[in-house]
């Protein structure tokens, strides 16, 4: 069993784009103008939906527990604080985070020693609705040139996205050892946008590690790199 707390709007004809925050003691939950349920249906405060809240805010057991301080002399005080985003806010935003099915993209660079370009790219691959590619700097990038191998995950063709788009990704980049099980692997997360279209590791491993035959990273002069997308999110804007 749970306690249920709802916030209701008394007059709706003055409603415009707002963000509402409901604060109850030490429990903070954000009530946003646009709500999306588990099935993807959107709703908000308006003339036909004047009440919104939480049917399972806190368990009845925790609510009744004296040491938690919600009840004092068999009395309880509920309160709500409503804050508004300034009038200039014209959009609502929704971030949907998803864990994609096991998504590992493998890329093999043949005849690494014969590569003359500073930067090489993988083929484009798609995860969800987003197209990605890997970029690799065989001799390192900028300050680590000639000392490290540099690898990055990139959004493919950012011009195809609308203005103010944002994509979140949590991912691993892995350099495969083809002779042992000692792969080199690093994990990170980042927001991608028109201004930030790549993220990765400029120092994923040293060139001495790469070229040491005992490590098995270069087999017959071939190098295999993997990227594993662990989670993705897309920030959507609603006018």
* pLDDT (tens digit per residue) in 155-211: 998 777 777 778 889 999 999 998 888 999 999 999 998 888 999 999 999 999 999
Q: What is the pTM of this model?
A: 0.62
List, in order, residues 6 or more apart from 76 with CB less than 8 Å away: 70
Q: How far apart are CA 216 and CA 182, in angstroms?
A: 9
Do 66 and 129 belong together in one domain?
Answer: no
Q: Identify the weakest region by mean pLDDT among 75-79, 181-185, 216-220.
A: 75-79
User: What is the model's pLDDT at position 128?
Assistant: 82
In this model, does residue 75 exceed pLDDT 90? Answer: no
pLDDT tier at 139 (50, 70, 90 boundaries)?
very high
User: What is the model's pLDDT at position 18?
Assistant: 40
- Give the pLDDT confidence of 84-132 residue by residue, as tens digits: 444 434 455 556 667 777 789 999 999 999 999 999 999 999 998 889 9
Alpha helices in 15-107 (DSSP H): 60-64
Last residue of a domain, one of 61, 90, 119: 90
Q: Is 57 helix (H, G, I), strand (E, B) or coil?
A: strand
List, in order, residues 6 or more apart from 143 with CB less than 8 Å away: 202
Do 178 and 61 belong together in one domain?
Answer: no
Do 134 and 153 belong together in one domain?
Answer: yes
Q: Is 25 left (phi over 0), alpha (psi -120 to 50) or beta?
A: left
User: What is the model's pLDDT at position 47?
Assistant: 53
In terms of Cα–Cα distance, which of 33, 35, 36 is closest to 19? Answer: 33
User: What is the model's pLDDT at position 69?
Assistant: 80
pLDDT tier at 66 (50, 70, 90 boundaries)?
confident
Q: How far apart are CA 119 and CA 115, in angstroms?
A: 9
Token couple for 204: 């994923």
Do 127 and 229 belong together in one domain?
Answer: yes
**Domain extent at residue 61:** 2-90
Q: Identify the weakest region by mean pLDDT among 34-38, 60-64, 103-107, 163-167.
A: 34-38
pLDDT tier at 213 (50, 70, 90 boundaries)?
very high
Do 208 and 232 belong together in one domain?
Answer: yes
Q: How far apart are CA 184 and CA 207, in angstroms?
A: 13
Last residue of a domain, one of 75, 90, 105: 90
Do 86 and 143 belong together in one domain?
Answer: no
Do 102 and 200 belong together in one domain?
Answer: yes
Do 110 and 183 belong together in one domain?
Answer: yes
Q: How far apart are CA 18 and CA 88, in angstroms?
A: 10
Do 223 and 154 belong together in one domain?
Answer: yes
Do 196 and 136 belong together in one domain?
Answer: yes
Last residue of a domain, one of 90, 121, 147: 90
Do 75 and 145 belong together in one domain?
Answer: no
Do 134 and 46 belong together in one domain?
Answer: no
Count of structural domains within the chain: 2
């Amino acid at each position: 069993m749970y306690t249920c707390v709802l916030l209701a709007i008394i007059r709706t004809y003055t409603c415009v784009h707002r963000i509402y925050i409901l604060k109850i003691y030490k429990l903070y939950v954000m009530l946003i103008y646009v709500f999306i349920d588990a099935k993807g249906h959107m709703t908000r405060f308006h003339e036909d939906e004047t009440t919104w809240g939480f049917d399972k805010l806190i368990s009845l057991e925790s609510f009744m527990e004296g040491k938690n301080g919600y009840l004092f002399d068999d009395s309880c005080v509920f309160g709500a604080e409503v804050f508004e985003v300034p009038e200039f806010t014209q959009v609502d935003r929704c971030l949907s985070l998803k864990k994609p099915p096991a998504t590992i993209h493998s890329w093999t660079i043949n005849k690494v020693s014969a590569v003359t370009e500073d930067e090489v790219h993988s083929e484009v691959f798609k995860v969800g609705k987003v197209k990605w590619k890997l970029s690799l700097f065989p001799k390192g990038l900028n300050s680590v040139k000639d000392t490290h191998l540099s690898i990055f995950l990139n959004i493919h063709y950012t011009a195809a996205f609308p203005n103010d788009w944002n994509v979140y990704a949590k991912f691993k980049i892995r350099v495969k050892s083809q002779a042992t099980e000692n792969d080199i692997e690093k994990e990170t997360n980042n927001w991608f946008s028109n201004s930030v279209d790549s993220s990765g590791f400029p120092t994923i491993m040293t060139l001495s590690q790469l070229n040491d035959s005992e490590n098995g990273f270069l087999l017959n002069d071939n190098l295999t790199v993997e990227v594993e997308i662990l989670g993705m999110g897309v920030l959507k804007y609603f006018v």
